[in-house]
Amino acid sequence: MKVKYEQKETKEKISIANKGKIRTKETKEKISKGLTGIKRSPENNEKNRLRNIGRIVSEETRKKLRNRVYSEESRMKMSLSSKNMNIGTKNGMAKLSEKIVLNIRKDYKNGKTIKELIDIYQIKYQTIYKIIKRIRWNWLY
């Protein structure tokens, strides 16, 4: 059973985020207080501000700290180890192997059409197109 309200009342009672749900002013106030959380006193805010003033670190000290933790050599090793980590068949979501990709390219060079390759390898048109144009699997030759 639907009850008709005046336009002003509906704006107060119906929340835009939850269409169709009717809320009173009291529940809206409770929700807004619950979402804002605990309000700290001005003295507490001042204490926290003063405590964190000394924690501001300049760019020079950040660089010194970074160099102290990791040398240039170890940083290079870490960056090299993370590059190409999930490339090709190393990726858990990979559906093709390097052999199949090379065979697709070889078959296309030998004159097979993309439609024939779709029937042979059961792969989408876009995937085969991207393999042929070296958009995907571009490191393989």
In a domain, 6, yes or no: no
Neighbours of 107 (CB within 10 A): 17
In a domain, 108, yes or no: yes
- Mean per-residue pLDDT, 69-73: 72
In a domain, 57, yes or no: no
Token pair recorded at residue 61 = 């000290």
The predicted pLDDT at position 56 comes to 67
The predicted pLDDT at position 106 comes to 95
Residue 102 lies in domain: 91-132
In a domain, 32, yes or no: no
Closest among 89, 114, 90 to 104, alpha carbons compared: 114
pTM comes to 0.43
Per-residue pLDDT tens over the stretch 89-115: 777 788 888 999 999 999 999 999 999
Total domains, the chain: 1
pLDDT above 60 (res 51): yes
Residues with Cβ within 8 Å of residue 37, at least 6 apart in sequence: none
Q: Which helix (H) or strand (E) holds 107?
A: helix 98-109
In a domain, 30, yes or no: no
Per-residue pLDDT tens over the stretch 120-130: 999 999 999 99
The more confidently predicted of residues 78 and 98 is 98
Token pair recorded at residue 44 = 């507490």
Contact 23, 13 (CB under 8 A): yes
